[in-house]
C-alpha cells in the first residue's frame, strides 16, 4: 500500500511534500475552500462535535478512522487508489497502449471539461443540502447527512487536485470557479440540471442520495476505466465513499416506506396523513422527480461526445472488463426513439450509445433498490407497490426532452399531460405537507413520526448513540 501522509496540512498519498509548487497552489486554494464551506456548507453545527469517519489509508480494509470532529476541522485530503502495475488502456482506439500518467496534450481540453463537470457536482450537492441539519428526523440521520457533506467536499478536493497537478494555470482558474458557481443561482448556476434543483426536505434528500448519488457511482465507474491514470485512480477511491451515500438514500427511503406501511395498517382506510406519515403516492411522486432528474445526468441517448470519449480511451463502460469486445465498432444498441407522436425501435452504433448503455446499467441498479422497498410493503401485507417511471418520463435532456410521456412511457397530448402533472410529480401542496413534517428531533433515542428507526446504528454502535454532541 502507498504511504499516506497524515501529518501534512493536506493529508495525502501522492507525495505532496515532494512537489513544492503543487503544494503551494493547493495551500492557496485551501482557505478559499474553507471560506466556501463556511458560507455555503451546512448551515449551523460548524462548532459541533460530530462522530465522523475520515479516510486514513486507501486499501479496502480499514481505510476509515471514526472520531468526533468539528466539520471545518475535517481532514479533507487527497487519496488515489494504488496504481495497477503495467496497466494499459482497456478500450477504444488506443486499446492496449500504455496509460497516460500525465494529461495527454491532444485530450487536454476534453479531460478538463470532464473533470470540471464531475467536480462541479460535489460542492453543488453540499449547497443543495445545507439547510437540512436544522430539521433532521434523528441525531443518527443528522450525522449521516454531515458525513455525506464532508465527503462530497473531499470529492471536490479530488478533482481540484487533478486540475492543479495536471492543467496548469487554466486548471487553477477552473478550481477557483468551482467555488464560485452556486446551486440554483440563475446568474452562476452549477453545470448539470439536477444540481440546481432544491433539496428542501429529507424526502428530497433520501431520494437524492438514492438516485443522484447513484448516478455518481456510474459516472465514477466509467471514469475509473479512463486511460488518464490519475483520473482512474482518484475516482476508484471516491467510489469507496460513494457506497455510504447510496446506503443513506436507499435505507432512508426504505425506513419511510416501512413507517408508512405501519401507519397504513393502523388505520381502517389506510389513511397515513391523519397520523402524520407520508402517503405512498406522495413518496412515488418524489421518486419520479429524482429518478427523472438523475436520468438526465447521463447525457443524450445518442451522443457523439460519448463516442469520442470512448474512442479516445477517456471514459469507458461500467465494468469494461466484463465485455468481450472493447472496440465497440461493429455492434449497435437498440433504442426506442420518439417519432411523430409515437415511439419506434432503432439500432444506434454502439459508440454513440454509450450514455444509454451506462444509463441502462444504472436503471437496473435502481430497480434493485425499489424491489427492496416493495419487499417492505409485501411483508406488511399491503398490495400497493412503488415503481420506477419509464425513462421517457419528464426528461429535459436527450431525445425525450420536453415530450409529454406519462410514467408508463405512453405518449400523451400536452394538455392531458399538464392536467395530470400533479398525479406524477410533487405539487406545491405535497411540498407544503412534507415541509410541515420536518421538525427536528434532538433526543438521540427518538425519531420523527414519519420514518422508522434504522435496524442498527453506525459501526456497531446503537441507534441512540450521541453521534452529534449538541450544545444546549
Ligand atoms: N444538464 O452528448 P451530450 C455525482 C450537456 S453525479 C445540463 O448529451 P455528454 C454526484 C452536455 O454537457 C456524477 N447539461 O452529453 C452525485 C453537452 O454540452 P455541450 C457527475 C447537460 O457530452 C451526487 C450537451 O448537453 N459526473 O458525482 O455525453 C452528489 C449535449 O451533450 C446535461 C459526471 O457527469 C445535464 N443533465 O455529457 C454529489 C461525469 N447532460 O458540450 C456528486 C462527467 C448533458 O453541447 N461528465 N448536458 O456544451 C460527463 O461524463 C458528461 O459530460 C455527461 C454527458 C455525463 C454530463
Ligand atoms: Fe461525490
Ligand atoms: Fe456522493
What are the grid coordinates assigned to 83, written together? Answer: 496504481
Q: Using alpha carbons only, what angle is made at residue 303 by residues 302 and 309, rounded to the nearest 5 degrees?
A: 140
Residue 355 Cα: closest atom of ligand 1: 28
Question: Is 299 near ligand 1, meaning CB less than 6 Å away?
Answer: yes
Q: Note whether 296 and 194 are within 8 A (CB).
A: yes
- List of domains in the chain: 16-469 (1.10.620.20)
Question: Is 219 near ligand 1, meaning CB less than 6 Å away?
Answer: yes
Question: Is 153 near ligand 1, meaning CB less than 6 Å away?
Answer: no
Q: For residue 329, count other CB atoms closer than 10 A to its CB.
A: 12
Question: Is 296 near ligand 1, meaning CB less than 6 Å away?
Answer: yes
Residues 29 and 23: their CA atoms lie apart, in Å, by: 10
DSSP 8-state class, residue 46: T
Question: Is 328 near ligand 1, meaning CB less than 6 Å away?
Answer: no
What are the grid coordinates assigned to 259, written together? Answer: 413507517
Residues 358 and 235: their CA atoms lie apart, in Å, by: 16
Q: How far is the CA of 239 from the centre of ligand 3 (A)?
A: 9
Name residues whose C-beta falls within 8 Å of residue 190's C-beta, 6 or more positions apart in sequence: 120, 121, 124, 127, 181, 182, 183, 184, 196
C-alpha count within 13 angstroms, C-beta hemisphere, residue 307 = 15
Closest CA to 441 of 135, 119, 115, 33: 135
Closest CA to 291 of 423, 380, 424, 184: 424
Neighbours of ion ligand 2 (CB under 5 A): 122, 152, 155, 216
Q: Which residues pair with 337 in a beta bridge?
A: 344
Closest CA to 29 of 171, 190, 181: 171
Which ligand is the nearest neighbour of the Cα of 124?
Answer: 1
Q: How far is the CA of 195 from the centre of ligand 3 (A)?
A: 12
Name residues whose C-beta falls within 8 Å of residue 472's C-beta, 6 or more positions apart in sequence: none
How high is the pLDDT of residue 472? 64
pLDDT tens over the chain, length 472 residues: 567 888 888 999 999 999 999 999 999 999 999 999 999 999 999 999 999 999 888 887 778 899 999 999 999 999 999 999 999 999 999 999 999 999 999 999 999 999 999 999 999 999 999 999 999 999 999 999 999 999 999 999 999 999 999 999 999 999 999 999 999 999 999 999 999 999 999 999 999 999 999 999 999 999 999 999 999 999 999 999 999 999 999 999 999 999 999 999 999 999 999 999 999 999 999 999 999 999 999 999 999 999 999 999 999 999 999 999 999 999 999 999 998 878 999 999 999 999 999 999 999 999 999 999 999 999 999 999 999 999 999 999 999 999 999 999 999 999 999 999 999 999 999 999 999 999 999 999 999 999 999 999 999 999 999 999 997 6
Q: Which DSSP string corresponds to 7-34?
A: SSSS-BSS-GGG-HHHHHHHHHHHHHHH
Q: Note whether 163 and 108 are within 8 A (CB).
A: no
Q: Note whether 118 and 218 are within 8 A (CB).
A: no
Which ligand is the nearest neighbour of the Cα of 121?
Answer: 1
Q: How far is the CA of 174 from the centre of ligand 2 (A)?
A: 18
Question: Is 162 near ligand 1, meaning CB less than 6 Å away?
Answer: no
Q: Note whether 166 and 230 are within 8 A (CB).
A: yes
- Category of 460 on φ-ψ map: left (φ > 0), alpha (ψ -120 to 50) or beta: left
Closest CA to 159 of 121, 213, 210: 121
Q: How far is the CA of 421 from the centre of ligand 2 (A)?
A: 31
Residues 377 and 444: their CA atoms lie apart, in Å, by: 27
Q: Note whether 50 and 139 are within 8 A (CB).
A: no
Residue to probe by mutation, ligand 1, list 293, 305, 306, most atoms within 8 Å of CB = 305
Question: Is 129 near ligand 1, meaning CB less than 6 Å away?
Answer: no
Q: How far is the CA of 31 from the centre of ligand 1 (A)?
A: 29
How high is the pLDDT of residue 63? 83
Q: Which DSSP string corresponds to 52-111?
A: EEEE---SSTT-EEEEEEEGGG----B--PPPPTT-B--SSTTTTSBPBSS--GGGHHHH
C-alpha count within 13 angstroms, C-beta hemisphere, residue 223 = 27
H helical segments located in 167-303: 168-178, 202-207, 213-223, 229-266, 280-296
DSSP 8-state class, residue 278: -
Which ligand is the nearest neighbour of the Cα of 220?
Answer: 1
Residues 319 and 316: their CA atoms lie apart, in Å, by: 8
Cell 420514518 -> residue: 451
Question: Is 189 near ligand 1, meaning CB less than 6 Å away?
Answer: no
Residue to probe by mutation, ligand 1, list 192, 226, 335, 365, most atoms within 8 Å of CB = 192
Amino acid at each position: 500500500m502507498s504511504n499516506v501522509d497524515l501529518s501534512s496540512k493536506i493529508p495525502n498519498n501522492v507525495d505532496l511534500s515532494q512537489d513544492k509548487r503543487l503544494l503551494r497552489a493547493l495551500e492557496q486554494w485551501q482557505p478559499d475552500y474553507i471560506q466556501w464551506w463556511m458560507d455555503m456548507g451546512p448551515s449551523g453545527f460548524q462548532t459541533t462535535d460530530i462522530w465522523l469517519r475520515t479516510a486514513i489509508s486507501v486499501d479496502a480494509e480499514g481505510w476509515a478512522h471514526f472520531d468526533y470532529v468539528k466539520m471545518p476541522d475535517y481532514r479533507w485530503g487527497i487519496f488515489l487508489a494504488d496504481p495497477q502495475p503495467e496497466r494499459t488502456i482497456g478500450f477504444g482506439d488506443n486499446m492496449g497502449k500504455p496509460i497516460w500518467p500525465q494529461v495527454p496534450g491532444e485530450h487536454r481540453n476534453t479531460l478538463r471539461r470532464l473533470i470540471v463537470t464531475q467536480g462541479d457536482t460535489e460542492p453543488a450537492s453540499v449547497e443543495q443540502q445545507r439547510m437540512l441539519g436544522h430539521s433532521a428526523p434523528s441525531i443518527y440521520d443528522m450525522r449521516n447527512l454531515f458525513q455525506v457533506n464532508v465527503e462530497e467536499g473531499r470529492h471536490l478536493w479530488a478533482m481540484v487536485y487533478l486540475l492543479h497537478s495536471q492543467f496548469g494555470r487554466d486548471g487553477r482558474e477552473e478550481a477557483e470557479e468551482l467555488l464560485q458557481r452556486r446551486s440554483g443561482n440563475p446568474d452562476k448556476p452549477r453545470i448539470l440540471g439536477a444540481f440546481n434543483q432544491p433539496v428542501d426536505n429529507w424526502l428530497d434528500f433520501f431520494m437524492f442520495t438514492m438516485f443522484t448519488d447513484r448516478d455518481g457511482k456510474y459516472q465514477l465507474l466509467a471514469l475509473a476505466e479512463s486511460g488518464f491514470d490519475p483520473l482512474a485512480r482518484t475516482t476508484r477511491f471516491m467510489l469507496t465513499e460513494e457506497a455510504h451515500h447510496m446506503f443513506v438514500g436507499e435505507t432512508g427511503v426504505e425506513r419511510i416506506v416501512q413507517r408508512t406501511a405501519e401507519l397504513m395498517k393502523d388505520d381502517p382506510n389506510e389513511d397515513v396523513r391523519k397520523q402524520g406519515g407520508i402517503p405512498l403516492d406522495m413518496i412515488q411522486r418524489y421518486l419520479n422527480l429524482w429518478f427523472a432528474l438523475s436520468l438526465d445526468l447521463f447525457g443524450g441517448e445518442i451522443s457523439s461526445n460519448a463516442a469520442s470519449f470512448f474512442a479516445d480511451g477517456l471514459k469507458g463502460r461500467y465494468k469494461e472488463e466484463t465485455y468481450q469486445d472493447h472496440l465497440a465498432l461493429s455492434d449497435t444498441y437498440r433504442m426506442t426513439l420518439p417519432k411523430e407522436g409515437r415511439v419506434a425501435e432503432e439500432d444506434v452504433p454502439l459508440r454513440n450509445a454509450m450514455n444509454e448503455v451506462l444509463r441502462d446499467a444504472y436503471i437496473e441498479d435502481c430497480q434493485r433498490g425499489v424491489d427492496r422497498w416493495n419487499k417492505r410493503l409485501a411483508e406488511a401485507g399491503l398490495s400497493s407497490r412503488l415503481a420506477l417511471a419509464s425513462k421517457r418520463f419528464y426528461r429535459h435532456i436527450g431525445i425525450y426532452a420536453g415530450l409529454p410521456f406519462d410514467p408508463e412511457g405512453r405518449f400523451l397530448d400536452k394538455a392531458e399531460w399538464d392536467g395530470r402533472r400533479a398525479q406524477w410529480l410533487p405539487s406545491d401542496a405535497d411540498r407544503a405537507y412534507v415541509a410541515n413534517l420536518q421538525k427536528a428531533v434532538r433526543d438521540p433515542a427518538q425519531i420523527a413520526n414519519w420514518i422508522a428507526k434504522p435496524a442498527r446504528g453506525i459501526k456497531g454502535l446503537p441507534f441512540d448513540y450521541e453521534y452529534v454532541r449538541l450544545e444546549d
